[in-house]
């Protein structure tokens, strides 16, 4: 992988929303519908599948967030956060759930772990964490709001939160977020449009891509094959979705795109296109760029798009900027990938 990375410069920087299958916390999977995809981390990390079980995060502004084990239309709450807190970046490793919890909109948060049966909840990293990712047998975490050279570091921990190692980065590439690239990690600097790579085998670091000459990069995620990202074109208005392989080959997958939700599972990209009062849900086979509309979700006031989280053969669509207050998973929709059908998520 390291030689491939050095073979070509790559791509660029952040926000919240994209894309792809592979590594951060799940074992490698070859089936058509992976239980967890790395793109979930760019979509708040609200869903995953582990074996036969599906786990979903429901944010509730009044009561606090929950993690539920969902079977059919029934749910079992296995973890309840404190009132006013939120849960993000749900990941799984060897039957253990890892997640990020913020309290009452305080800056930064803590990394927790929990058995999939809901037992033995534990705070692993209570310091001011910005983003984290489970990769291999280590947890990698950034400090909160790393916007200057003093925070150009990533901390590495054992899976129990112990044996801390410090990885120094380029002072000009302080990371905003972490994401998987095969067995390694991409660090992303949102302000400078720069990427670096951490080689997990020896904890070494090198600059990966300088995108400072591109006006806007967002939604960057890597996988075994390369990276997918959105970029603003030369007209200063149009966004497109591009990809770049580890060999340095680039491709434009979608020439014009509105930032309202996307993710990738297996060999298929899912994205939303805005209509007058709704969002159309599309899928694209990445190899031939063939697109097909598979459903529609509403666009109520205050909702600019949806987070798309893949879990097995289901894609869960959660409206951005909203929290359920009346019922579990209020406003959620689910796409059956095998049947190409979208319907409201009904869980009690």
Q: Which domains does the chain have, with CATH numbers?
A: 2-344 (2.130.10.120)
pLDDT at 326: 56
pLDDT at 211: 66
pLDDT at 180: 77
The Cα 309–Cα 311 span in angstroms is 7
* Window from 13-22, 114-123, 248-257, 337-346 with minimum mean pLDDT: 13-22
Q: Using CB atoms within 10 A of its CB, is residue 96 exposed (0-12), middle (13-18) or buried (19+)?
A: middle
What's the average model confidence in pLDDT over 191-205? 79
Model confidence, pTM: 0.85
Res 2 pLDDT > 70: no
User: Residue 143: which pLDDT band, with cuts at 50, 70 and 90?
Assistant: confident
pLDDT at 222: 63
Residue 36 Cα to chain centre, angstroms: 10
pLDDT at 341: 95
What's the average model confidence in pLDDT over 239-259? 80
Q: What is the mean pLDDT of the chain?
A: 80
Count how many residues are written for the chain. Answer: 348
The Cα 8–Cα 340 span in angstroms is 37
The Cα 166–Cα 157 span in angstroms is 9
pLDDT at 185: 83
The Cα 42–Cα 24 span in angstroms is 12
CB 78 within 8 A of CB 114: yes
pLDDT at 62: 67
* Window from 6-10, 76-80, 185-189, 269-273 with minimum mean pLDDT: 6-10
Res 324 pLDDT > 90: no
* Window from 233-242, 251-260, 262-271 with minimum mean pLDDT: 233-242
For residues 287 and 22, which has the higher predicted lDDT (pLDDT)? 287
Q: Residue 129: which residues within 8 A CB-CB, separation 6 or more?
A: 100, 108, 109, 110, 111, 141, 142, 143, 144
Strands 184-189 and 268-274: unpaired
User: Residue 296: which pLDDT band, with cuts at 50, 70 and 90?
Assistant: very high
Question: Ranked by mean pLDDT, which of 170-174, 195-199, 271-275 comes out on top?
Answer: 271-275
**Per-residue model confidence as pLDDT tens digits over 40-93:** 888 899 999 998 899 999 987 666 789 999 988 899 999 999 888 889 999 999
For residues 160 and 172, which has the higher predicted lDDT (pLDDT)? 160
Sign of the alpha-carbon dihedral angle for 209, 212, 215, 221: positive
Sign of the alpha-carbon dihedral angle for 134, 20, 241, 253: positive
pLDDT at 8: 34
* Window from 65-69, 83-87, 119-123, 222-226 with minimum mean pLDDT: 222-226
pLDDT at 130: 87
What's the average model confidence in pLDDT over 286-311? 90
């Amino acid at each position: 992988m390291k030689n491939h990375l050095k073979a070509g410069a790559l791509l660029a920087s952040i926000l919240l929303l994209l894309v792809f299958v592979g590594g951060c916390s799940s074992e490698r999977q070859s089936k058509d519908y992976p239980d967890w995809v790395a793109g979930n981390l760019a979509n708040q990390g609200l869903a995953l599948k582990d074996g036969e079980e599906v786990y979903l995060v429901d944010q509730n502004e009044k009561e606090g967030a929950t993690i539920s084990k969902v079977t059919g239309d029934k749910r079992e709450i296995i973890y309840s956060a404190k009132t006013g807190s939120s849960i993000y970046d749900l990941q799984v490793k060897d039957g253990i759930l890892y997640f990020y919890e913020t309290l009452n909109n305080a800056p930064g948060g803590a990394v927790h772990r929990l058995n999939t049966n809901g037992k033995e909840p534990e705070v692993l990293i209570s310091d001011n964490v910005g983003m984290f990712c489970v990769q291999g047998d280590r947890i990698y975490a950034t400090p909160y709001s790393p916007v200057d050279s003093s925070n150009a570091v990533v901390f590495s921990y054992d899976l129990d939160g112990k044996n801390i190692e410090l990885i120094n980065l380029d002072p000009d590439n302080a990371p905003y977020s972490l994401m998987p690239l095969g067995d390694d990690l991409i660090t992303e600097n949102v302000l400078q449009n720069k990427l670096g790579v951490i080689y997990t085998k020896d904890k070494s670091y090198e600059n990966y891509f300088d995108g400072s000459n591109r006006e806007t990069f967002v939604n960057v995620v890597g996988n075994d094959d390369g990276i997918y990202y959105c970029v603003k074109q030369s007209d200063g208005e149009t966004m497109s979705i591009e990809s770049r392989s580890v060999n340095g080959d680039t491709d434009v997958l979608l020439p014009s795109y509105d930032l309202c939700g996307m993710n990738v599972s297996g060999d298929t990209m899912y994205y939303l296109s805005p209509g007058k009062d709704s969002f159309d849900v599309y899928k694209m086979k990445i190899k031939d760029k063939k697109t097909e509309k598979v459903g529609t979700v509403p666009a109520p006031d205050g909702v600019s798009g949806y987070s798309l989280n893949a879990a097995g053969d289901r894609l869960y669509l959660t409206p951005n900027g909203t929290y359920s207050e009346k019922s579990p998973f209020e406003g959620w929709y689910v796409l059956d990938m095998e049947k190409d059908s979208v319907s409201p998520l009904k869980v009690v």
